[in-house]
C-alpha cells in the first residue's frame, strides 16, 4: 500500500478532537482509527502492538543488528483540529499540477489559488491532494501517520535492511493540547524520537513556543439602560478595555519568527458576564514570564478600578520551548538534517510558531524534534498536501533509521 493510499484511507475516518470533552480520547472515532492502525501493524508481523484505554498506540520493530544502536521513535497524532469538520471529507488528487487556480467547490465558489497561496507554485508538476472546500483535509497529522505506517511496512517487508529498534507511537488529542497527557515515555522505551507533524517539505524544528492559556471571566451588573446611571457595569466594555491594555502590535497577525504574541482567541459576553480566552506565546522564557505578568497586572489594575472580584483569571502553562531539552542532544537534529541533504531536500530549520506533542514529550524525558509531514494551510478548507512530499517524508524516516544503525 502506498503512502497516498494509506493517507486517503485514514482521512476517511473523521477524528476531530473536542476541547469541551472530558474523556480521553476526546472523541470516539480516534479509537476507531487507532484500532485500524493497530490491526495494520499486526498484519505487518509486528508482535508488540498495543492500544491502551486512552487510545494511545505503541508498537516496536525489534533491532536486526548485532551491535548497540540507539532506540529511536517516530510519533504522529490521530486527531484533527476542531477549527473545521472532517465529516464528509471528499479528497481529490490533482495530477501533474499546472500552476493554475484549483476550484475546490464550484457551488460555493471556493478556490485554491496561487495568488492567495503562493507556495502552490513550488509544486508545479507534482500531484496535490486537496479538499472539497467544505472540510479539513486532515494532513495534520494523518499525513504523518501514513508516512510512519508506510516506513514501518518497508522495514517489516525488507528484513535484510539493517536497523536498530524502532518505536512507533500514535497519540490522540494533540490539537487540543492533550496529546502527551497519558503518553507513557517509559513504556515507549525510546532514547529519542521524531514527531512527523510539520508542514512543508524540508521543515525541521527543534524549538517551540512557551505556551500559556488564559481563561478570563468578567462580572458586570445589568440594569435597565433607562435607569443605569451610576449602576450599570458593562462587562463587555471592561473586556475591550482589558484588550486595549495589551500591546496592540504583539498580535499573531503582526508577528513572525521568534516574536511572541497575545492572542484573543474567543470572546462571548453580555452586560452581566463576559468570557475571554487568550493564548500567550513566546520562544524566550523571560519574555514569556513578562507576558504573563503584564496580563496579571492589567487585570489587577481593572479590579482596583471596578472592584475586587470583577475579573477572575485562570492561567495555565501548556508547554515549554523544547529547544531547552533538545540542544544538549543536538546530534539528533543534525542526523535528520544530513539525511534530508542526502535526499536532495533543503532543510528548513526554524522555530515552530506553535507546539507539537514533542514540546511536552521533550520535558517528559523524550527529546523529540519535529519533521515535515508535507501539508500546507493546516486548520482550514484550503489545506493541501503534495503526494511527493509525503513520499519524501517516508524516505527521511528510512534515512534516519539507516544513519542511526551505522
- Annotated catalytic residues are 79, 174
What CA–CA distance (Å, rounded) separates 76 from 207? 18
Residue 247 dihedral angles phi and psi, to the nearest 5° = -60, 115
72, β-bridge pairs? 166, 192
What CA–CA distance (Å, rounded) separates 97 from 113? 12
Alpha-carbon distances of 199 from 74, 219, 277, 300, 381, rounded to whole Å:
16, 41, 26, 40, 16
Smallest CA-to-CA distance from 166 within 188, 150, 146 is with 188
* Residues 6+ positions from 314 with CB-CB distance below 8 Å: 214, 215, 216
Smallest CA-to-CA distance from 247 within 237, 236, 260 is with 260
**Cell numbers of 126, please?**
507534482
What CA–CA distance (Å, rounded) separates 251 from 255? 6
Give the number of other Cβ atoms within 10 Å of residue 134's Cβ. 17
3-state percent breakdown (helix, strand, coil) of the chain, nearest 5: 35, 25, 40
Buried b or exposed e, range 280-316, using 16+ CB within 10 angstroms = bbbbeeeebeebbebbeebbeebbeebeeebbebeee
Is the backbone peptide bond immediately before 390 cis, with ω within 30 degrees of 0? no
What CA–CA distance (Å, rounded) separates 251 from 264? 8
What CA–CA distance (Å, rounded) separates 210 from 188? 25
Amino acid at each position: 500500500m502506498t503512502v497516498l493510499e494509506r493517507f486517503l484511507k485514514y482521512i476517511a475516518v473523521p477524528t476531530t478532537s473536542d476541547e469541551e470533552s472530558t474523556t480521553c480520547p476526546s472523541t470516539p472515532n480516534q479509537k476507531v482509527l487507532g484500532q485500524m492502525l493497530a490491526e495494520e501493524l499486526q498484519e505487518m508481523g509486528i508482535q508488540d502492538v498495543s492500544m491502551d484505554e486512552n487510545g494511545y498506540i505503541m508498537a516496536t520493530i525489534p533491532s536486526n543488528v548485532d551491535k548497540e544502536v540507539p532506540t529511536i521513535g517516530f510519533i504522529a497524532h490521530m486527531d484533527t483540529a476542531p477549527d473545521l469538520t472532517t465529516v464528509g471529507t471528499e479528497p481529490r488528487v490533482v495530477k501533474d499540477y499546472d500552476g493554475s487556480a484549483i476550484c475546490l467547490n464550484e457551488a460555493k465558489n471556493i478556490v485554491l489559488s496561487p495568488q492567495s497561496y503562493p507556495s502552490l507554485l513550488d509544486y508545479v508538476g507534482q500531484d496535490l491532494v486537496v479538499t472539497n472546500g467544505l472540510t479539513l483535509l486532515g494532513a495534520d497529522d494523518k499525513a504523518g501517520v501514513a508516512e510512519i505506517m508506510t516506513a514501518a511496512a518497508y522495514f517489516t517487508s525488507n528484513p535484510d535492511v539493517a536497523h536498530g529498534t524502532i518505536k512507533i507511537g500514535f497519540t490522540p488529542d494533540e490539537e487540543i493540547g492533550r496529546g502527551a497527557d497519558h503518553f507513557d515515555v517509559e513504556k515507549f522505551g525510546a532514547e529519542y524520537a521524531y514527531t512527523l507533524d510539520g508542514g512543508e517539505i524540508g521543515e525541521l524544528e527543534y524549538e517551540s513556543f512557551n505556551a500559556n492559556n488564559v481563561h478570563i471571566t468578567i462580572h458586570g451588573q445589568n440594569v435597565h439602560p433607562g435607569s443605569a446611571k451610576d449602576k450599570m457595569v458593562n462587562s463587555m466594555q471592561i473586556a475591550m478595555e482589558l484588550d486595549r491594555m495589551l500591546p496592540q502590535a504583539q498580535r499573531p497577525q503582526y508577528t513572525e519568527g521568534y516574536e511572541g504574541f497575545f492572542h484573543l482567541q474567543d470572546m462571548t459576553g453580555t452586560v452581566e458576564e463576559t468570557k475571554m480566552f487568550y493564548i500567550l506565546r513566546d520562544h524566550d522564557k523571560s519574555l514569556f514570564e513578562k507576558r504573563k505578568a503584564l496580563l496579571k497586572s492589567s487585570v489587577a489594575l481593572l479590579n482596583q478600578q471596578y472592584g475586587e472580584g470583577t475579573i477572575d483569571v485562570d492561567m495555565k502553562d501548556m508547554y515549554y520551548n523544547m529547544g531547552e531539552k533538545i540542544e544538549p542532544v543536538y546530534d539528533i537534529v543534525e542526523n535528520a538534517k544530513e539525511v534530508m541533504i542526502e535526499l536532495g531536500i533543503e532543510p528548513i530549520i526554524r522555530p515552530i510558531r506553535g507546539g507539537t506533542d514533542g514540546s511536552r514529550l521533550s520535558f517528559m524525558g523524550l527529546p523529540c524534534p519535529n519533521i515535515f509531514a508535507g501539508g500546507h494551510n493546516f486548520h482550514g478548507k484550503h489545506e493541501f498536501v503534495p503526494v511527493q512530499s509525503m513520499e519524501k517524508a517516508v524516505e527521511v524516516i528510512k534515512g534516519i533509521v539507516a544513519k542511526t544503525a551505522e
